[in-house]
Structure 1
Amino acid sequence: MLCALFFATILHTSIGNESMGVESEFGIDRGHSNCSNATPQIMYYYDRSVGDCFPFLYEGCGGGRNAYYTELRCRRYGKPADATYCIGKEKPVGNCRGRQDFTCPEGSYCKPRFWVPGICCDKKKREEWNKEFNPACEWNNVLMIESRSDPNKLRPLLGRDCSHKFCPEGSECVKGKHLAYCCGETNPPKGMYRVR
């Protein structure tokens, strides 16, 4: 029985790219299109520097281990299960107990963790990152995608960098301070993306 469990674990961790968080050690590799069956598609990778998953255009051949077909798979298998960070993986300013903000230095808030003391995160950094997560386009509309938790709600289509080519054809990628987002005049085809 123990032997069967061992082999099942090995099989599970070696199928596809989902090897239980190991990919978080690797950066992004968009692959290449120099093969006979190259099929470019949007995939997701885990960015260790900010502790989140972002889309990129996979060129269709080769590529690295840090590539997932969906954002959910990226979050499940690329992100460490016990990861608790300040937003954008900004450096904590202290420790706290529970959700009690009064145990954190002034200008910070408590982000609780399981089994260990929570971390105090800077409120100004949170405001800065919240602006990045809610961008505005100068002339056009921000492209939106379905929310992870509720398909009836929309959220901005965000990436880490414009060089990752995650914006749909016909839209423009705009680089913010920490993240990139897509601006477009109309809804792109395929219905996945919408404009705000």
Structure 2
Amino acid sequence: MQHFDHYQMWLLLSLIVPSFQQRGLPLSAPCNLTVNMGDSPCNENATMRYHFDSKTLTCLPFKYTGCGGNENNFEDSFSCSIRCIPVMDYHNCVANSPPVKRKDGSYICNSKAKCPAGSTCIKGFVIGLCCDDKAYEKYLANSKPDCGRKKVVKDTSVEYSMTLFGKTCEHQFCPEGAECYQGAFYAYCCQ
């Protein structure tokens, strides 16, 4: 059995996750709720939790105060994914970036229906989508962050080693002593 590294898994999920917003498919609660870090002040210990981000269609960490908040609040990335990312025959461009229209106005591509210059056909299970090359390049750069002499913080809540990505530094998901940096699509931590 082949094992995926974080980058391969992240890329795979980004390509096969259904594009609810582009296809008009509604997200159900709690996955359609915005992240809520909880009430402050709070007498509970703050913990790392995960929320479903409807813009990028991914489960991302945030620092939960321990009080209040909403139901878009999962103990780990896996629980969030199982609840909010159903298996469907749809896919999207990286980080749910919008597909590129072909001359005929469609986004669909295959071996005969080519994508316009500056875009690439990203194939799903049945169909392909024309996806912007620049968005893909930004995504690849964001997927492999460079911390210089420091180390990229890894997510230890999963069985395999993967970079700890968050939506934004405002979600305070980096561990104590780590610095947060905002990438094109996701934020990451260096320590």
TM over 0.5: yes
SS of residue matched to 1:88: helix
Provide the C-alpha distance between the structure 2 equivalents of 1:28 and 1:176, rounded to a whole number of angstroms.
19
The alignment covers a number of residue pairs equal to 158
Q: Which has the higher Rg, Structure 1 or Structure 2? A: 1
Provide the C-alpha distance between the structure 1 equivalents of 2:146 and 2:93, rounded to a whole number of angstroms.
23
Equivalent residues of 2:108, 2:129 under 8 A apart? yes
Provide the C-alpha distance between the structure 2 equivalents of 1:108 and 1:147, rounded to a whole number of angstroms.
35
1:55 paired with 2:68, answer no
SS of residue matched to 1:168: coil
Gapped regions of structure 2 (runs ≥ 5) = 1-26, 101-106
> What are the Cα deviations for residues 103-158 of structure 1, in whole angstroms up to 9, with x where unaligned?
3233322233456x33111222111111111111144221123596x62xx32211
The residue that corresponds to 1:162 in the other structure is: 169
SS of residue matched to 1:60: coil
Change (3 A) 1:84 1:155: same
Provide the C-alpha distance between the structure 1 equivalents of 2:120 and 2:156, rounded to a whole number of angstroms.
29
Provide the C-alpha distance between the structure 2 equivalents of 1:133 and 1:174, rounded to a whole number of angstroms.
13
The residue that corresponds to 1:112 in the other structure is: 123
Provide the C-alpha distance between the structure 2 equivalents of 1:170 and 1:101, rounded to a whole number of angstroms.
53
Report the Cα offset of residue 164 of structure 1.
Answer: 0.6
Provide the C-alpha distance between the structure 2 equivalents of 1:70 and 1:133, rounded to a whole number of angstroms.
20
Provide the C-alpha distance between the structure 2 equivalents of 1:134 and 1:65, rounded to a whole number of angstroms.
31
1:171 to 160, 172, 178: 178
Report the Cα offset of residue 76 of structure 1.
Answer: 1.3
SS of residue matched to 2:152: strand
The residue that corresponds to 1:96 in the other structure is: 109
- Over aligned residues, Cα RMSD in angstroms? 2.5
Gapped regions of structure 1 (runs ≥ 5) = 1-19, 185-196
TM-score by length of 2: 0.72
Report the Cα offset of residue 101 of structure 1.
Answer: 8.4
Q: Which amino acid aligns with 1:121?
A: C
Provide the C-alpha distance between the structure 1 equivalents of 2:177 and 2:48, rounded to a whole number of angstroms.
15
Change (3 A) 1:22 1:101: farther
SS of residue matched to 1:103: coil
Equivalent residues of 2:36, 2:70 under 8 A apart? yes
SS of residue matched to 1:135: coil
Provide the C-alpha distance between the structure 1 equivalents of 2:62 and 2:188, rounded to a whole number of angstroms.
12
> Highest relative contact order (Cα 8 Å, sep 6+), 1 or 2?
2
The residue that corresponds to 1:136 in the other structure is: 146
**Identical pairs, percent:** 33
